Amino acid sequence: MKRFNVLLLALLLFSQCTPVEKEMEEETQEDKYLWLEEVDGEKALEFVKNQSDATFAELSKEKDFEEIQKQSLEIYNSPDRIIYPIIYGDFVYNFWKDENNARGIWRRTSRADYMSGKPKWDTLLDIDELSKKDDVKWVFKGASGLHPTYDRFLVSLSAGGGDAVFVKEFDVNKKQFIEDGFKLDEAKGGADYYDENTLVVSTDFGEGAMTDSGYPGQVKIWKRGTDLKDAQRLHKGETTDVGTWGGVMRDGDKTYIMVSRAITFYTSNSFIWDGGKLTKMDIPDDASPSGILNNQLVVQLKSDWTVDGKTYKTGSLISLNFSELLEGKKNISLILEPDEFSSISQISTTKNKLLVNLLTNVTNKLFIYSYNDGAWSSKPVEAPDFGTISIVGTNDSDDSYFFDFENFITPSTLYAADADKNTSRPYKSLSAYFDADKYEVKQYKAKSKDGTMVPYFMVAAKGIEMSGTHPTLIYAYGGFEVSLSPFYASSYGVAWLEKGGVLVLANIRGGGEFGPEWHQNGIKEKRQNVYDDLFAVSEDLIAKKVTSPDHLGVMGGSNGGLLVGVAFTQRPDLYNAIVCQVPLLDMQRYNKLLAGASWMGEYGDPDKPGEWAYIKKYSPYHNVKEGMDYPEVYFYTSTRDDRVHPGHARKMVAKMNDMGYKTYYYENIEGGHAGSSTNEQRAKSNALTFSYLLKKLKG
- Distance CA(435)–CA(497), nearest Å, equals 10
- Map out the domains of the chain as residue ranges: 442-697
Across 529-554, average pLDDT: 98
Question: Does residue 516 have a cis bond before it (omega within 30 degrees)?
Answer: no
Q: Is the pLDDT of residue 68 over 70?
A: yes
pLDDT class of 6 with cuts at 50, 70, 90: very low
User: What pLDDT does 18 receive?
Assistant: 44
Task: Tell me the Ramachandran region of residue 308: left when phi exceeds 0, alpha when psi lies from -120 to 50, beta otherwise.
Answer: left
C-alpha dist (Å) from residue 494 to 68, 213, 477, 651: 7, 40, 23, 33
Q: Is 558 a catalytic residue?
A: yes
The gap between the terminal CA atoms of the chain, to the nearest Å, is: 69
Where is pLDDT greater, at 346 or 208? 346
Across 47-73, average pLDDT: 97
CB atoms within 10 A of CB 69: 22
CB within 8 A of 333, min separation 6: which ones? Answer: 296, 318, 319, 320, 371, 374, 375, 376
Q: What is the mean pLDDT of the chain?
A: 94
User: What pLDDT does 301 receive?
Assistant: 98
User: What pLDDT does 489 receive?
Assistant: 87
User: What pLDDT does 428 receive?
Assistant: 96
What's the pLDDT tens digit per position in 565-624? 999 999 999 999 999 999 999 999 999 999 999 999 999 999 999 999 999 999 999 999
Q: Identify the DSSP state of 600.
A: H
Across 205-231, average pLDDT: 95
Q: Is the pLDDT of residue 10 over 50?
A: no
Across 190-215, average pLDDT: 95
Q: What is the DSSP string of 368-415?
A: EEEEETTEEEEEEPP--SSSEEEEEEE-TTSSEEEEEEEETTEEEEEE
Cβ contacts of 16-22, under 8 Å, gap ≥ 24: 18/609, 20/609, 20/612, 20/613, 21/609
Annotated active-site residue in 72, 268, 390, 558:
558
- Distance CA(557)–CA(482), nearest Å, equals 13
User: What pLDDT does 596 receive?
Assistant: 97
Annotated active-site residue in 470, 490, 673, 691:
673
User: What pLDDT does 274 receive?
Assistant: 81
- Closest Cα to residue 393, out of 415, 378, 411? 415
Across 429-447, average pLDDT: 96
Count the helices and strands in the chain (H runs, E runs): 16, 39
User: What pLDDT does 208 receive?
Assistant: 83
Across 167-189, average pLDDT: 97
Q: Is the pLDDT of residue 500 over 80?
A: yes
CB atoms within 10 A of CB 365: 15
- Closest Cα to residue 474, out of 491, 490, 460? 460
What's the pLDDT tens digit per position in 392-419? 999 889 999 999 999 999 999 999 999 9
pTM of structure: 0.93
pLDDT class of 440 with cuts at 50, 70, 90: very high
Task: Tell me the Ramachandran region of residue 58: left when phi exceeds 0, alpha when psi lies from -120 to 50, beta otherwise.
Answer: alpha
pLDDT class of 181 with cuts at 50, 70, 90: very high
User: Could you confirm whether domain 442-697 is CATH 3.40.50.1820?
Assistant: yes
Across 421-430, average pLDDT: 96
Q: Look at 5-19, 70-84, 166-180 and tell me which has the smallest mean pLDDT.
A: 5-19
- Distance CA(331)–CA(324), nearest Å, equals 7
CB within 8 A of 391, min separation 6: which ones? Answer: 346, 348, 355, 357, 366, 401, 402, 403
pLDDT class of 30 with cuts at 50, 70, 90: confident
Q: Identify the DSSP state of 47.
A: H
- Closest Cα to residue 212, out of 179, 250, 240? 240
